[in-house]
Chain A
Amino acid sequence: MSGTVSVEYTGVRELRGPLVIVEGVSGVGWDEFATIVLDSGERRHGLVLEVNRDLAVVQVLEGTAGMDRTGTGIAFAGTPLRIPVGSGWLGRVCNGRGEPADDGPPVLGGTDAPVAGVPINPVRREPPNEPVLTGVGAVDVLTTLVRGQKLPVFSVAGLPHLELAVQIAAQATCGGEPFAVVFAGMGLTHADAAFVRDGLAARSAARELALLVNTADDPVIERLLTPRLALTVAEHLAFTQGRHVLVVMTDMTAYSEALREVSAARGEIPARRAYPGYLYSDLASLYERCGRIKGRPGSVTVLPVLTMPAGDITHPVPDLTGYITEGQVVLSPDVHSTGTYPPVDPLASLSRLMRKGAGPGRTRADHPAVAAQLTAALARSRQVRELADLIGRPALSPTDLRFLDLDDAFRHRFLTQRTDENRSLDEALGRAWEVLLTLPRSQLGMIPADLLDAHTPPRGEEPT
């Protein structure tokens, strides 16, 4: 991560928060990459946020602690930040700036790419229509992840979203086609970082994983870079090398807070909850890097994970994320409190691209009908459960009681899964059928009759 260094400027005029303002510069362009050398010889890195006449405002990724006005030298690379890309990233563990954290040599690649990314031409996008199977039944059956989709996990502090993210990163496959995972951790505790490393060790050893981790005590500003590095690496693995790449980014709330911190340091006018007005566009510049391109074999699928502060889905981070992404997987404290893992709320969760990515030739012919019927039945179950709370179970009709049974069966037979259990789609769909058949056939109106005939056991036999 070093550019060609030609001139070192020493005219530091001001140091404020993560920003250093240098004067007397000439020919420095906006968004250039900078290398900062301290008195002690320590090297730091920065990005140019503004150039005004002979002044340059530089955001220091590692923070400005220990920097002074006289002993700091800054050199500009002449280009925006570029990083080496290639399959050299696979099997590596790096910090949030892309420097090795596994005692290995620096990651090198035959080629490099700008971390800011370049927008995909909308007319060259191929609409996503094939699944990524995660081995998590609730996700695969009810909110199928589609290659090229961006599908966030909305969670609340204390829920096992990191476990779910790691499980998906460890298990996901694309039907035998070349596949890789890029995992970007932002603001993780050391314990969480260790959990991620351990959980993904096998995938890393198989050279199918690039891991970038910014821990909670790493410089906040570095967090702004971590997802961009991850996506830059992913884009090359996908669109140049032809792999299907899943990018897991956790936790986007920590990322957004870093963005807010820089915005405040720059004295920008705040919008909702003091987040900068460009939070939507900034998040879009990450999420929109997913997709497929006509005539190229690979895909980039993005799975951002975020914690909703105080469980508030109208908080700017989940709200703006929801406006950009194509659905959401919502984890619920209520389901978690019943001891069920993964605590997915099936009614609040939705995959908007599932219509195209599931069904005959994609997953299984009965999949869309089963998923739709299961969601509809669960919605009815929830109403019945509320009614039962009001008027008591004995007052329910026999049909209503069957819906309560369905709800229990859903949790115990379908939703519950071990964190190390890689459940096949066939098994997950089999369990979905088993749950549905707790209802009388007359209540399964969304499933075509021939499918019902094929799955209903002959009278008197138990479902297998």
Chain B
Amino acid sequence: MGAAVTAPGSQGTGPQAVGTGPACPRRDDTFRPRILRVAGPLVEITCPAAVAMHDMVVLGAARVPGEVVAIQGDTATIQAYEYTGGLAPGHPAEPEGRPLSVRMAPDLLGGVFDGLLRPLAGAGDFLTSGSSGVPNRRSWQFTPRVSAGARVAAGDTLGEIGAKVPLRLLAPPGRSGEVTRIASAGGHSPDDVLAVVGGHEVRMAQSWPVRRPRPVAERLPTDRPLHTGQRAVDLLFPVALGSTVAVPGGFGTGKTMLLQQIAKWCDADVIVYVGCGERGNEMADVIEELTELSDPRTGGLLAERTVTIANASNMPMMAREASVHTGATVAEYFRDMGLDVVLIADSTSRWAEALREFSSRMGELPAEEGYPAGLASRLAAFYERAAAVRTPGGATGSVTVIGAVSPPGGDRTEPVTAHTERFVRCLWSLDRDLAYARHYPAVSWADSFSRDAAALAASHARSGDPEWATRRGRVAQLLAEADRLADLVELVGITALPPQERISVLAGRLLREAVIQQNALSPADAYSTPEKTAALVEAALAVIDRCLELVSSGAPADAVEAVDFTPLLRARESAGPTGTALVAAARNTVLARLKEVA
């Protein structure tokens, strides 16, 4: 490959200096944009007047895709999405006259894509420039829900698509009018014209620019819970559908494990998993597990509700920058069908690093630690794509965004972590000490927060669980008390504490081991229903209350501590994902043993 050296070049010193304007194109080339400069993913081209910001440009003979990120005079700066090796000044550049857009269709479900949403299946063992798989063009069952002659508005349902997840064909944004044609029920490929609305052809497959949020009728308050199946989250730091979560954690704290558990078990309709600058082996693992596990709700495979965007850390860096927007666009596409979508981005720090890399090459003034001054607003804009909405067609849908953050050296004052904390509604902070003690998920109760808790308490009360807020408050207070005493115990020893406080230390241990810890590798414990979580908390609190009563009535703390609490500690494993009766039995066994102390 490569361009052979064609001209001898001007030997000796020439007058040309860096940045003095186009040198290579001659006058007759004015209308054919040419490359001027290549520095890694940054490419400068001569810019015809018609090129707009964020337009796609195809570079060189290798047809490397890129996006216009700056225009200055007659020069445009391009952010290239693939390896630019071999591109040279003078090579052609071809503006496409449209912004970076992605093709979305039902076949996204179950698929694995790169940061520009090009399918990876069938793309070969190694990803060379321009290699791309082919979209899966299987046929989908279509059932019309309107007849020809009906008048529809943008976002209205035209028909239903038979997938494991209930999908719909909608009148696209901005298109309304009379339905002049509608396909009959039956199998159709994503690229078939299924309807004509106001003179516009409607297919299952449609294209949307990734940087433009899809329109909504209105934003709704976030007050419906997302059940993640993870007790530490559902109990202490719950998240609402349409809310935002950041998960900061140093390496080895189990960040990816927690996010994968949520991708597997949360009760959203569709999961969009964006692996952004993370490990290739890890992506392979996610893909394999999702295709093996079945979904407890639909009975289908978990993969059938999941869209995976895999942009491993050694894949082109700038595609990372695009991948979070691509993910958000895919999430909004399914949201508009009235679905609840969870968008997981692992890790937003790698995305921010791509921003930094590019801004540094552009010569922008750096703010903190070399990140561009616009970092905070870019982060805020990304998280704002989360919302619970009424769609233009009147349906209710949501996009919940969960972003991992990888603070360098575990330093939570670094810019990405510090800014992200300000923009999210929930923070699940992962603690290295907990992780080293093999306490998983290592969600720190001291450093995390959920600003959705009050709204969700009201929601739980409406749906028949008025005690939810009380339980949560009690657990949080007991854990905080135990932490405070733990520091004291290290200094003076447990025996120096008064009996009531010794029981508080015991209570902390019982809650941590019987309720908060969760074994992601155990089929019985990996996922916890709301009922099982509630039963475990009630069992632990009942035992703790009895212990407190015992020492208040004079029983020695030694004797209470010596009771075998094992049945309670093992209940989360032995009871299975739903077995509340077994949890109650474990509680009764322990209560009976406590009776013997008295």
- Shortest distance between the CB of B367 and any CB in chain A (Å): 10
B 64-86 binary contact with A (CB < 8 Å = 1; else 0): 00000000000000000001111
Whether A11 lies near B12 (C-beta < 8 A) is yes
Contacts of A322 in B (CB 8 A): 251-252
Contact check, A6 vs B9: say whether CB atoms are below 8 A apart: no
Q: How far is the CA of A26 from the CA of B25 in the complex (A)?
A: 12
CB pair A29 B2 closer than 8 Å: yes
Report yes or no: B37 in contact with A53, Cβ–Cβ below 8 A.
yes
Considering the chains assembled together, what is the distance between the CA atoms of A121 and B19 in angstroms? 38
Stretch at the interface among B144-152, B350-358, B551-559: B350-358
The answer on a CB contact under 8 Å between B16 and A27 is no
A91 lies within 8 A of chain B by Cβ: no
Q: Across the interface, do B125 and A24 meet the contact criterion of CB distance under 8 Å?
A: no
Given A24, A122, A148, A314, which contacts B312 in the complex, CB threshold below 8 Å? A122
Answer whether A347 and B37 are a contact pair too, CB < 8 Å, given A27-B5, A123-B112, A324-B279: no
Q: Given A119-B127, A119-B312, A121-B120, are A26 and B7 also a contact pair (CB < 8 Å)?
A: yes
Cβ A9 vs Cβ B9 within 8 A: yes
The reply to whether A52 and B36 contact each other, CB–CB distance below 8 Å, is yes
Which A residues touch B174, using CB under 8 A?
Answer: none
Give B574 Cβ to nearest chain A Cβ, in Å: 15
Binary contact readout A132-165 vs B (1 if CB under 8 angstroms, 0 otherwise): 0000000000000000110000000000000000
Q: Looking across the interface, which residue of chain B has its beta carbon closest to that of A22?
A: B9
A374 to chain B, nearest CB (A): 13
B11 & A53 in contact (Cβ 8 Å cutoff): no
Residue B4 interfacial (CB < 8 Å): yes
Q: Indicate the size class of the contact surface on chain B.
A: 35 or more
Asked if B413 CB lies within 8 Å of chain A CBs, one says: no
Residues on B with C-beta less than 8 A from A122 are: 112, 120, 275, 280, 283-284, 287, 310, 312
The smallest C-beta distance from A434 to any residue of chain B, in angstroms, reads 24
CB pair B281 A353 closer than 8 Å = yes
Known: A27-B88, A53-B23, A55-B18. A284 touches B277 (CB 8 A): yes
Q: Is the CB of A281 within 8 A of B277?
A: yes
Q: Is the CB of B39 within 8 A of A50?
A: yes
Query: Which residues of chain B have C-beta atoms less than 8 A from A96's C-beta?
Result: none
Q: Are A127 and B288 in contact (CB under 8 A)?
A: yes
CB neighbours of B252 from chain A (8 A): 322, 350
Tell yes or no: B464 within 8 A of A by CB.
no
**Contact indicator B126/A121 (Cβ below 8 Å):** yes
B84–A31 touching, CB < 8 Å? yes
For A261-291 the 0/1 string (1 means CB < 8 A from B) is 0000000111110000110110011001111
> Number of residues in A with C-beta < 8 Å to the partner?
77
Check if A334 is an interface residue, CB within 8 A of chain B: no
Contact of A24 among B14, B112, B436, B438 (CB under 8 A): B14
Once the chains are docked, how many angstroms separate the CA of A258 from the CA of B427?
A: 38
Residues of A within 8 A of B281 (CB): 125, 127-128, 148-149, 290-291, 326, 353
Other-chain contact of B13, A11, A379, A391 (Cβ < 8 Å): A11
Cβ–Cβ contact B12 & A124, under 8 A? no
A154 to chain B, nearest CB (A): 12
Q: Write the nearest CB–CB distance from B312 to chain A, whole angstroms.
A: 5
Q: In the assembled complex, which residues on chain B have CB atoms less than 8 Å from the CB atom of A50?
A: 37-40
A267 to B43, alpha carbons, bound, how many Å? 18
A118 and B126 contact, Cβ closer than 8 Å, known pairs A51-B38, A324-B313: yes
Q: Which of B217-225, B384-392, B402-410, B502-510 binds A?
A: B402-410
B7 contacts A27, C-beta separation under 8 Å: yes
- Asked whether A174 is an interface residue with its Cβ less than 8 Å from the other chain, the reply is no
Shortest distance from the beta carbon of B306 to any chain A beta carbon, whole Å: 13
Residues of A within 8 A of B353 (CB): 277-278, 280-281
Separation in Å of the A462 CB from the closest CB of chain B? 32
Q: Cα distance A441–B40 when bound, in Å? A: 61
Closest residue on chain A to residue B315 by CB atoms: A119
Q: Which residues of B contact A54 (CB under 8 A)?
A: 9-10, 14, 16, 23-24, 89
- Whether A120 contacts B13 by the Cβ 8 Å rule is no
Query: Chain B residue with minimal CB distance to A7?
Result: B5
A29 partner, pick from B16, B85, B120, beta carbons under 8 A: B85
8 Å CB contact of A7 from B9, B287, B288, B409: B9
CA gap between A353 and B123 in the complex, in Å: 26
Q: Which residue of A lies closest to B282 (CB)?
A: A326
Chain A residues with CB under 8 Å of B447's CB are: none
CA distance A148 to B2 in the complex (A): 32
B314–A285 CB distance below 8 A? yes
Q: Are B279 and A10 in contact (CB under 8 A)?
A: no
The answer to whether A319 and B409 touch across the interface, beta carbons within 8 angstroms, is yes
B84 — which chain A residues lie within 8 A by C-beta? Answer: 30-31
Structural contact, B11 and A78, CB atoms closer than 8 A: no
Whether B298 is near chain A, meaning CB under 8 Å from some CB there, is: no
> Within 8 Å of chain A (Cβ to Cβ): is B377?
no
What are the interface flags for B243-286 relative to A under an 8 Å C-beta threshold, 1 for contact and 0 otherwise? Answer: 00000001110000000000000000000000101011101110
B132 to chain A, nearest CB (A): 10
* In contact, B4 and A6 (Cβ under 8 angstroms): yes
Query: Is the CB of B370 closer than 8 A to any CB of chain A?
Result: yes
CA distance A6 to B406 in the complex (A): 47
Chain A residue numbers with a CB within 8 Å of B44 are: 52
B370 touches which of A28, A55, A277 (Cβ 8 Å): A277
- What does the 1/0 interface line of B371-393 toward A look like (CB < 8 Å)? 00000000000000000000000
Residue of A80, A269, A291, A293 with highest tally of chain B CB at under 10 A:
A269
Within B23-70, the residues touching A (CB, 8 Å) are 23-24, 36-40, 44
Residues of chain A with a CB closer than 8 A to B87's CB: 29-30
- Once the chains bind, are A23 and B16 in contact (CB under 8 Å)? yes
Contact with A along B90-105 (1 / 0, CB 8 A): 1100000000000000
Query: Which of B7, B37, B112 contacts A51 (CB under 8 A)?
Result: B37
The answer to whether residues A127 and B284 also contact, given A26-B7, A50-B38, A53-B37 and a CB cut-off of 8 A, is yes
Tell which of B284, B285, B357 has the most Cβ of chain A within 10 Å.
B284
Q: Which residues of B contact A353 (CB under 8 A)?
A: 281
The answer to whether A13 touches B280, judged by C-beta atoms less than 8 angstroms apart, is: no
Determine the chain A residues whose CB is within 8 A of the CB of B279 once the complex forms.
Answer: 288, 324, 326
Q: Which of A149, A289, A316 contacts B314 (CB 8 A)?
A: A289
Q: Cβ of A296 < 8 Å from any Cβ of B?
A: yes
**B487 interfacial by beta-carbon distance below 8 Å:** no
* Interface flag for B206 (CB, 8 Å): no
In the assembly, what is the distance between CA of A271 and CA of B88, in Å?
Answer: 29
Cβ-based interface call for A89 (8 A): no
Closest 8 CB pairs of A and B: A314-B409, A284-B313, A288-B314, A31-B85, A125-B284, A30-B38, A322-B251, A53-B23
- Given contact pairs A26-B90, A123-B123, A280-B353, enumerate 20 new A-B contacts (beta carbons under 8 Å): A7-B8, A24-B10, A26-B24, A30-B40, A30-B85, A52-B36, A52-B37, A116-B83, A119-B280, A120-B280, A121-B124, A123-B121, A127-B281, A128-B281, A271-B370, A277-B353, A281-B353, A288-B280, A290-B281, A326-B279
Selected A-B contacts with CB under 8 Å, 15 pairs = A10-B12, A11-B10, A27-B90, A28-B89, A32-B86, A50-B40, A52-B38, A52-B39, A53-B89, A117-B314, A118-B127, A125-B280, A281-B353, A281-B357, A314-B409
